[in-house]
């Protein structure tokens, strides 16, 4: 099957000259289009909480956050190394 040449692949590969091997799975998924969402969430976590009769919705959320917004499983948010920012041509603009 011939790979579809998406605009994302063109920008990453031809304009930014970035290796795309580590993003190949995402680019392949985009070839089939972005998932439809219609601007609403399904609320599966709430439905699951009702079905399981849990006291709190956080008991069924797969990636819960702490009260200050930290994800303990992904260690996010976290500091980003300068080399990572440079790789993706990003800059953190610190205001005050």
What domain range includes position 24?
Answer: 1-35
- Please indicate, yes or no, whether residues 29 and 52 belong to a single structural domain of this protein: no
**What is the count of structural domains for the chain?**
2
Tokens encoding 60: 């069924």
- Please indicate, yes or no, whether residues 4 and 49 belong to a single structural domain of this protein: no
- Please indicate, yes or no, whether residues 16 and 2 belong to a single structural domain of this protein: yes
Dump pLDDT digits (tens) for 3-39. 556 788 888 888 988 888 888 888 888 777 777 666 6
pTM of the model: 0.36
Dump pLDDT digits (tens) for 64-90. 888 888 888 888 888 889 999 999 999
Q: What pLDDT score was predicted for residue 85?
A: 93
Q: What pLDDT score was predicted for residue 3?
A: 58
- Please indicate, yes or no, whether residues 61 and 95 belong to a single structural domain of this protein: yes
Tokens encoding 15: 């304009």
Cα 23 to Cα 21: distance, rounded to the nearest angstrom = 5
- Please indicate, yes or no, whether residues 4 and 18 belong to a single structural domain of this protein: yes
Torsion sign, CA atoms 8, 11, 12, 13: positive
């Amino acid at each position: 099957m011939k790979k579809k040449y998406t605009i994302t692949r063109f920008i990453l590969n031809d304009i930014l000259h970035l290796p795309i091997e580590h993003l190949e799975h995402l680019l392949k998924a985009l070839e089939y289009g972005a998932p439809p969402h219609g601007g609403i969430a399904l609320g599966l976590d709430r439905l699951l909480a009702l079905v399981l009769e849990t006291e709190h919705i956080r008991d069924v959320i797969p990636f819960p956050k702490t009260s200050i917004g930290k994800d303990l499983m992904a260690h996010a948010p976290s500091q980003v190394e300068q080399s990572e920012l440079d790789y993706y041509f990003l800059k953190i603009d610190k205001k005050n």
